[in-house]
Structure 1
Amino acid sequence: MKRLRLRRLAATSVLVLIGAGYALAYPESARQQFESANQLYESGDYAKAAEQYRSLSESYSEEGVFFYNLGNSLFRTGKTGEAILAYERARAASPRDPDIRFNLTYTKSLLEYHIDDKRNWYLKVLEDLLNFATRRELFLLVLVLYFIFASAWALKIYFKPGLPWGWRRKTLVYLMLFSLSVFGAKHVQTDIFCGAIVTTDETQGRYGPSMDDRAAFKLGEGLKVYVIARRHGWSRVMLTNGETGWVPSSDITEILGTGTA
């Protein structure tokens, strides 16, 4: 696994360029804890390193670097499902990072269980598009386009109230509507069809939210499912092959359960 390497915090000079707000996000205590975790990892104490990275990721859930290193540590300890969960959270925070994507793809390739993706091609393309940006980035895009649109509208009314809309303004409207649609789809992806990872060795999807209900399918550690409903300690999940069933909520962990993205 050639890219299973540590990530370090950016240099101080970069922090200065980004601004004081970013620097405040990493107090000296967090930097020391991060370096301590790196030393534990490099010395081969992956379990203790994972504890440190997990603590940092819980405190700074919007930073992919902590989830990435947590995933590496968990992978080294043989906790494949939790490693995939950490990589998924790292990708949610830093969606265009090639190392995160590589490690996630590689770790998934080692799973014993696999589910055929029978979704339509356009749903797969849409998911890839949505995974390319965070919800915050899409919100800022909508906000910027709306500001430009409102400014153009106000200038037109004030200076040239009778001038018809040209192609530039129409293009801006189309872009804003498109970005709103993508943002809405991102909301559906993160808040309605919530991605989750199986974090137990094995679990079964059942036709109802009870152990008395008949088993519909079997799921192995590390598989990704989509939570579409919850009821009294059970989660109804959908698979990429179209099957649905109920699994104990304790057997899966939602990717955005820590508030990432």
Structure 2
Amino acid sequence: MKYVIYILAIFFSISGIAQNNVLFEKGNKLYNQGKYLEAIEVYKQILDSDNHSAELYFNLGNAYYKLNGVAPSIYYYEKALQLDPNDKDILNNLAFAKNMTIDAIDTVPEAWTTKLINNIANYMTFDGWAKTAIVFVICFVLLFIFYDFAYTSVKKRVAFIGSMASLVFIIGSLVLAFHKFNLEKSDRPAIVFAQESKVKAEPNLRSEEAFMLHEGTKVQVLDTINNWKKIKLSDGKTGWIPSADIKTL
């Protein structure tokens, strides 16, 4: 009975993949025919089956871009970028889509030390840094054992230096792993979908207006209270925006 369940699960999985491939090709055909709304509907059928890929999000972004959909095109390009951060086509099209936005927001420059550490931490995932630390732990143990059994002073010196270097790399890998974890935890991006949204100083309608945002602007979500979200812009400004006006990535 257990094997029958496994076989059925594999069968339905393969069937689902085949169906999604058919839908993806259908969506591409509609897109090439200039039927962008129809293509979007087909692409979203694939999303409804919990099938996600950079290619699917990229094509959705392209379709919305053709329809001058500022917010959704940027949203889906950003989703594609999350799955494939180094894809040049996604980066280029995202830049074109951002040119359609109204808000011109400066970016607070990072200190070179912070930028360097963040770049190193982003080189791998949290799991990647954790696995790297484990590898260096194994190296440390092996070198320590080698040091204990080495008979010549030269071999002992080499083993000692190697074990100390491994210890340094263990500590460095763990520090970068937790730094990467904190970066991912604090990174809660969202896209403004409202054509125009008044950002308030406090989470209520009676509060004074802090500033105005328009569709397509990317923000960071800091907190949530009832139907309000506290956001932060790249220039450091903060405020409260109605939850319905943004869509989190």
Give TM class, smaller chain: 0.7 to 0.9
Structure 2 residue 144 is the aligned partner of structure 1 residue 141: no
**Could you say which structure has the larger radius of gyration?**
2
RMSD: 2.9
In the alignment, what sits opposite 1:50?
40
Q: 1:65, CA displacement in angstroms?
A: 0.9
> Where does 1:134-213 land on structure 2 (aligned, <5 Å)?
137-161=124-148, 163=156, 166=160, 168-213=162-207
Aligned residues: 230
> What whole-Å deviation, never above 9, does each CA across 1:51-103 have from its counterpart, x for those lacking one?
22233345223x21111111001111221111101011110100010101111
Contact persistence 2:139–2:166 (CA under 8 A) = no
Secondary structure class of the residue paired with 1:213: coil
| TM-score, normalization by structure 2 | 0.80
Secondary structure class of the residue paired with 1:27: helix
Change (3 A) 1:38 1:124: farther
Change (3 A) 1:87 1:181: farther
Secondary structure class of the residue paired with 1:117: coil
Q: Aligned residues: percent identity? A: 25
In the alignment, what sits opposite 2:90?
100
The residue type paired with residue 90 of structure 2 is I
Which of 213, 216, 219 is 1:222 aligned to? 216
Change (3 A) 1:37 1:153: same
Contact persistence 1:84–1:107 (CA under 8 A) = yes
Q: Return the alpha-carbon distance in structure 2 between the equivalents of residues 130 and 66 of structure 1.
A: 29
In the alignment, what sits opposite 1:70?
60
Change (3 A) 1:92 1:239: same
Q: Return the alpha-carbon distance in structure 1 between the equivalents of residues 217 and 117 of structure 2.
A: 17
Contact persistence 2:102–2:214 (CA under 8 A) = yes
Contact persistence 1:119–1:242 (CA under 8 A) = no
Q: 1:196, CA displacement in angstroms?
A: 0.8
In the alignment, what sits opposite 1:109?
99
Structure 2 residue 15 is the aligned partner of structure 1 residue 28: no
Q: 1:140, CA displacement in angstroms?
A: 4.0
Contact persistence 1:80–1:222 (CA under 8 A) = yes
> What whole-Å deviation, never above 9, does each CA across 1:129-168 have from its counterpart, x for those lacking one?
38966xxx51342143123212212323433337466555
Q: Return the alpha-carbon distance in structure 2 between the equivalents of residues 50 and 124 of structure 1.
A: 40
Query: Which ranges of structure 1 fall in alignment gaps of 5 or more residues?
Result: 1-19, 256-261
In the alignment, what sits opposite 1:235?
229
- Compare the two structures and name the one with the higher helix fraction: 2
Q: Return the alpha-carbon distance in structure 2 between the equivalents of residues 176 and 125 of structure 1.
A: 22
Query: Which ranges of structure 2 fall in alignment gaps of 5 or more residues?
Result: 1-9, 150-155
Which of 54, 60, 67 is 2:51 aligned to? 60
Change (3 A) 1:46 1:184: farther
Secondary structure class of the residue paired with 1:161: helix
